[in-house]
Structure 1
Amino acid sequence: MSSSPTRAWLPWFYGHTFLIQAITFVLRPTAIYRALELDVPAHWLGALGASFAIVPLLLAVPSGHAADRFGERRVMLVGAWLTVAAAAAFVLVGGHVWGLLVASVLLGVAHLGAVVGQQALVANRTDRSRYDTAFGHYTFAASAGQALGPFLIVLLGGRQAIPRTDAIFASVLAMSVVLLLLALLLPRFAQSPQGRAAASDGSVRSLLRRPGTVRALIVSCIVLAAVDISLVYLPVLGSERDIPAGTIGALLACRALASMVSRFFLGRLTAMVGRGRLLTGSVAVSAVGLALVAVPMPTWSLFVVVGIAGLGLGAGQPLTMSWLAESTPPGLRGRAMSLRLTGNRLGQVLVPSAAGLVAASSGAAGVLWLTAGGLVLAGISSRSIPTLPPPPDPRSSA
């Protein structure tokens, strides 16, 4: 990221990115385990997963407009404050189903503010030639946080089928305070006159009319929904097959670690293969991996196929981010990223709710197979996204 005169803020930014994902990826599966403790019926688990996305679905585009108009840092600060509120809600009222729903909604809005601000910051403070590398590194930090979250379940839950949820909720409350401190350490970035003018005059409709935008949003939506399904229904699969909670936490961490690998090398992979081919291939790989997860197999084999799925799922998100950032003028990139998040949240509302109905009749395996089929459709759709001029090889400017 090169638009700022100094990179001193990058550690705070990557720390913020790391922590918001760690907090989210430990709270969401822990909420599912708490729901299982409370004997919540299986079809309600999908509704609990969807509660994370319902309100953010309505607030995503306004959040992007706020990032364009008022600055990325302010939106990230709001997200950090709401994260503290969500973690406190899990501690204080998480012993009831309605409390879990309220806390999940708060967490969803908090995550939205943090992520919209982060993605707009990367899009606005990065040279166009470095988008794939910058978004790859940004999502690498996010994956690192996603890996830490399940490890907390391993550390605090051990080999029990249901982990000690009280200890996890209390630990995450402390983490959320650190997240707020990191947001406060970020500098205030000046906006160019051209960016301010575009922020005032641009519209969502004009963004949607750009060739390939809708297809890119659909692909991003399905890929993130697949990540969500793995987060919610791997614990359910473990409960159905009597797999210890520690093993499920390790599997979730394995998926996140595999995603980190593909994201760290994303700039080089794009230079070698091309963004379009890499996007289609990564979605296809993730479809195969998720389909195999649902097949009964030894534990070591589960780690292999979850890792394969993680490699594919890891590349899809940053590739759609860099495509949108590259095809959107300054001053509208916050809204472009929020449009992507709107599609993602729509998928997070519809897919888990439909998954709950499937789970009631065919269990977690049926949900995973259905998700793999959706990824196949996403891969076909990705082939129609127009190819922008290829970015230069990042090794040539190193």
Structure 2
Amino acid sequence: MRSPAVLLIHSFLLQLAAYIVRPTSAYRAIELGVDPRLVGLIAASFALLPLVVAVSIGRWNDRGHVMPSLVIGGALMTGAGVGIHLWSGGLASLLMWNAVVGLGHLLAVVGQQTLVARLGRERLDSAFGTYTFAASLGQAGAPLVLAAVGGSAVVPDTGLLFLLYTGTCAALLLITGFLPSCRNTGRKDGGGRSLRSALRVPRATGRTMTGAMLLSMLVLAAVDLIQVYLPALGVEREIPSATIGVLLAVRAAATMASRLGLARLAARFGRTRLAAGSAIVAGAAVAALAAPVPVVVSGILLAVAGFALGIGQPLSMSIVTAAAPAGTTSTWLALRLSGNRVGQSLIPAVLSAFTAGLGTGGIFVATGIGLFGTAAAARFLIDDDR
């Protein structure tokens, strides 16, 4: 893959920006006196437009518009930063600007993943592992920015945070012009096909795609649930918030470590066995968090869970890219992203409804069971042991 450093920096900046603006928008809503029960709408607004247009954006990229997708995505995120800083006087404006951020983020992510798929086609597992490592670094860096700005305050300086977000997006847009071109590296012979034709694949390929998307969806939902419910578990067990922060950092570090070693793991075990095995290990570790164990043991469990969960996202990208027919890679990657958004929206709500009487520990047990089911589905559906 040519000029990998620029693409990795682009990935880092994109996720850093997204993970700064989302919690900052929630803090701004609290400043404005919005009912806390409505703050969740901000997260939903970020995912709303991507759910509607993801596949269309994928088709657009398949027709050779990767660089325009990246440029427009960066421009929308930058413009939304200016708008949210200057004109966010109520919940409606916050929802609107976050929807624009979500659309820009989707355009940029699809463009990035298309570049990785086309320029790193000979080493997919290594390329996607390194790419998602850079993204994870951005996701891990955002809380440090929030902590540095907020200090001991309950509500940080949202104006400063929005300025930092906008500056990050401006830097993202600036380096887009230095990204490697994939104009002559991709297979675009299918770019003119209709959507129905692009999604019509052999049964075996369809099963593989379904298994990869389920893996991606459940793994991402599990990570989100850990982020939300580990602090709640800490409150129940009177674990200091600083300790919970360290535990979450352990999970994030383990996730990044597994992504750097993804190519070696895939070569040794094969993609199908690695997908199923990582989901089983993650499920066991996450479910075990419900047990009343010492904090040190919880840290070990989160390290194991983080390492295993870190495999699912880049591996699913590799599987989808390898299985996609010529000229449809971006479409299938975008469809995978749509599945992720659905999972992030629905799975936490469903689990909360069905485990309401079981306490926070029940969430972890149910998440572990879901990962076991994902492992079984991956072993049955994915046919990609390369």
Change (3 A) 1:380 1:269: same
Aligned mate of 1:179, from 155, 172, 185: 172
Report the equivalent of 2:113. 119
Q: Secondary structure at the match of 2:200?
A: helix
Change (3 A) 1:16 1:121: same
Check conservation: 2:85, 2:159, Cα contact below 8 A.
Answer: yes
1:325 to 317, 321, 325: 321
Aligned-pair CA distance for 1:245: 6.4
C-alpha spacing 1:243/1:164, structure 2 compared with 1 (3 Å): farther
User: How far off is 1:231 after superposition?
Assistant: 4.0
- Give deviations 1:73-129, integer Å, cap 9, x for gaps: 22111111122133334433556333432233222212211111111111111233x
Residue 296 of structure 1 deviates from its aligned partner by 6.2
> Is residue 56–residue 108 contact of structure 1 (8 Å, CA) maintained in 2?
yes
Equivalent-residue separation in structure 2 for 1:245 and 1:98 (angstroms): 32
Q: How does 1:179-218 map to 2 (within 5 A)?
A: 179-191=172-184, 195-201=187-193, 203-207=197-201, 209=203, 210=205, 211-218=207-214
**Secondary structure in 1 matching 2:380:** coil
The question of whether the paired residues in 1 share the 8 Å contact of 2:219 and 2:371 is answered with yes
Equivalences for 1:307-386 in 2 at 5 Å? 307-354=303-350, 366-386=362-382
- C-alpha spacing 1:298/1:152, structure 2 compared with 1 (3 Å): farther
Bigger mean CA deviation after superposition, 36-45 or 135-144: 36-45
Distance 1:363 1:35 in 2: 28
CA displacement at 1:185 relative to structure 2: 2.0
CA apart distance, 1:337? 0.6
SS at match of 2:149: helix
Structural mapping, 1:45-194, within 5 Å = 45-94=39-88, 96-128=90-122, 130-160=123-153, 162-191=155-184
Kept in 1: contact 2:211–2:382 (CA 8 A): no
Runs of 5+ consecutive residues of structure 1 not aligned to the other structure: 2-6, 391-398
Q: 1:13 to 1:232 in 2, by over 3 A?
A: same
Letter matched to residue 310 of structure 2: G
Superposition TM-score, scaled by structure 2 size: 0.86
SS state of the match for residue 187, structure 2?
helix
SS of structure 2 residue aligned to 1:199: coil
Partner SS state of residue 117, structure 2: helix
SS of residue matched to 2:278: helix
Percent of counterpart pairs with the same letter? 38
Gaps of 5+ in 2: none
1:24-43 to 2 correspondence within 5 Å?
Answer: 24-35=18-29, 43=37
Aligned residues: 382
Compare 316-325 and 205-214 and name the one that shifted more. Answer: 205-214
Which residue matches 2:255?
Answer: 259
Are 1:159 and 1:245, in contact at CA under 8 Å, matched by a contact in 2?
no
**C-alpha distance 302-103 of structure 1, shift in aligned 2 (>3 A):** farther
Q: Structure 1 pair 138/52, CA: closer, same or farther in 2 (3 Å)?
A: same
